[in-house]
Amino acid sequence: MSLRKLLNLRNTLAFRLTLWYAGIFTVSSCVAFFLFYTLIAGVIRDRTDQELLGQVNRFSTLLAEEGTEAVENGVVIEAQAAGVKKVFFRLLHLNGQVFSSTNVSYWKDIGIDRTAIEQLLQGRGAVFETIVIPGRKDKVRILYAMLSPAIIVQLGQAMESYSRFLDAFKGIFIATMTFLIIVAAGVGWFMAKRAVSGVEAVTRTAQKISGGSLQERVPVKPRGDEIDQLATTFNHMLDRIQILLTEIKEMSDNIAHDLRSPITRIRGVAEVVLTTGASLVEYEGMAASTIEECDRLLDMINTMLLISKTESGVDKLSREEVDIAGLVRDACELFAPVAEDKRVSLSCHVPGKSLLSGDKRMIQRMLSNILDNAVKYTPSGGRVEVSVSENEKQDIVVSVQDTGAGISKADLPRIFERFYRCDQSRSQAGTGLGLSLARAIARAHGGDITVVSSPNQGSTFTIILPKPTSS
């Protein structure tokens, strides 16, 4: 692994998780070791203290039974038997004056502790001390105790077993901790790698996508953990982006197509007029058809802009009290002559009034788009029925039902998309923007438009407009 890779590794989440894991594991192990050490050290010290107290008791009995001389001889024999480098005795008067001792040449660094003697004189049964002599391995445990009301004994013992335990403990500690830290780092690395492997999969997919392949998806395991939820959300987001991109592509294709036809027509007419050395009348005709085509183009562009503005809410709706029933009646009257020409029966069932706060011109445009479609896509002899009512939530419901061409299941979810036109409607005039605008207007008013349709039987468009709740 190169140095650069190693340095990069330092910044990875897996590395930091491993460090945390190994760190916490090491600290907890150290705490456990320390507690264990304190416990065992305490037990060893207590055992030493018991031994020292046992000896004091023995010599105290000896003093009572056989006198001071017997004790003086006894401590010398005891010290020689144990080893003069392991045990020493000093017998003291109450003023701390030494009157007898074993061979203390090895122990000359240890003096008499006045405070301990004072504590004894104040009535304490025994005073213990631990002394560290620089340069010597073993600590020394010292006991001051009253042998009789007039004699104090200072008894010292090298804490050999304590040092042995400490050495053994240090060895075990270093070996165990080294092993544990290596294991903890290994386990931590394994766990961290497993935990972030899902995130790495998401990153890899994101990299492939930025490389141009939007079909890629993150593999989702059936566990349903946080990483799987992240992967699922990421995949949903990608689905949505893909749909949006496809829609944008289709829309730009449609725009290009819809712009090309009128421009080609304008160019064709101009070319014919130019090449045939036309008269003034023909030039006038060309100008008229150019204006007509330009009006169609402008209408289309303006409608597109209006849809965008309405959807984004850039242009605030002008709110005023609108009588929906009245507007529907007016729209029916407007379309009655067209319907009559086509021999389509147009009937209108509306109540006297249906008031709502909204943008009158926008609502008019929405109603005429829906009504225009109903009449346009219903053949001669068909029926269009328009009604206004209220649902259980007091929303105003405008229903436009026709017995026309109907819409296939495949087309139904797409008819509200910009520029979408069902194949069978392409012979009819239209831009494919009417329903998009109508839905944008309904949604800007807090409502929506739904459609139920079956091919060759007809369609029902339902506009729902909620009345704003009075606060």
List residues near ligand ADP by CB under 6 A: 369, 373-374, 377, 402, 404-407, 415, 420-422, 425, 430-436, 459
Asked whether the beta carbons of 139 and 130 are under 8 A apart, the reply is yes
Q: Kindly tell me which of 187 and 338 has the beta carbon lying closer to ligand ADP.
A: 338
For the CB of residue 197, give the shortest distance to ligand ADP in the complex, in Å: 47
Q: Among residues 201 and 437, whose Cβ is nearest to ligand ADP?
A: 437
Specify whether the CB–CB gap between 358 and 329 falls below 8 A.
no
CB 373 to ligand ADP: min, Å: 3
Give Cα 363 distance to the centre of its chain.
Answer: 43
* For ligand ADP, the closer CB: 89 or 377: 377
Compute the least distance from the CB of residue 331 to ligand ADP, in Å. Answer: 14
Give the residue closest to ligand ADP by C-beta.
430
Which of 8/457 has CB closer to ligand ADP? 457
Nearer to ligand ADP, 276 or 427 (CB): 427
Q: How far is the CB of 261 from ligand ADP (least distance, A)?
A: 14
From residue 211, how far is each of 205, 206, 245 by CA, in Å? 10, 9, 16
Nearer to ligand ADP, 90 or 439 (CB): 439
The minimum distance between CB 365 and ligand ADP, in angstroms, equals 12
Output the smallest distance, CB 291 to ligand ADP, in A: 21
In 10 A of CB 106, how many CB atoms?
Answer: 16
Q: How far is the CB of 463 from ligand ADP (least distance, A)?
A: 13
* Distance of closest approach, residue 452 Cβ to ligand ADP, in angstroms: 11
User: For the chain, what is the HEC assignment?
Assistant: CCHHHHHHHHCCHHHHHHHHHHHHHHHHHHHHHHHHHHHHHHHHHHHHHHHHHHHHHHHHHHHHHHCHHHHHHHHHHHHHHHCCCCEEEEEECCCCCEEEECCCHHHCCCCCCHHHHHHHHCCCCEEEEEECCCCCCCCEEEEEEEEECCEEEEEEEECHHHHHHHHHHHHHHHHHHHHHHHHHHHHHHHHHHHHHHHHHHHHHHHHHHHCCCCCCCCCCCCCCCHHHHHHHHHHHHHHHHHHHHHHHHHHHHHHHHHHHHHHHHHHHHHHHHHHCCCCHHHHHHHHHHHHHHHHHHHHHHHHHHHHHHHHHCCCCCCCEEEEHHHHHHHHHHHHHHHHHHHCCEEEEECCCCCEEEECHHHHHHHHHHHHHHHHHCCCCCCEEEEEEEECCCCCEEEEEEECCCCCCCCCHHHCCCCCCCCHHHCCCCCCCCHHHHHHHHHHHCCCEEEEEEECCCEEEEEEEECCCCCC
Residue carrying structure tokens 């631990």: 130
Which residue, 48 or 369, has its beta carbon nearer to ligand ADP? 369
CB nearer to ligand ADP: pick between 102 and 378: 378
C-alpha distance across the termini of the chain, in Å: 68
* Min dist. Cβ of residue 450 to ligand ADP (A): 13
Give the residue with the Cβ less far from ligand ADP, 81 or 429. Answer: 429
Cβ-based nearer residue to ligand ADP, 154 or 369:
369
Nearer Cβ to ligand ADP (198/432) = 432
**Shortest Cβ 414–ligand ADP spacing (Å):** 9
- Minimum distance of ligand ADP from residue 382's CB (angstroms): 10
CB 463 within 8 A of CB 397: yes
- Which tokens hold the place of 166? 């400490």
Nearer to ligand ADP, 228 or 247 (CB): 247
Which residues 6+ apart lie within 8 Å of 468 measured at CB?
Answer: 357, 446
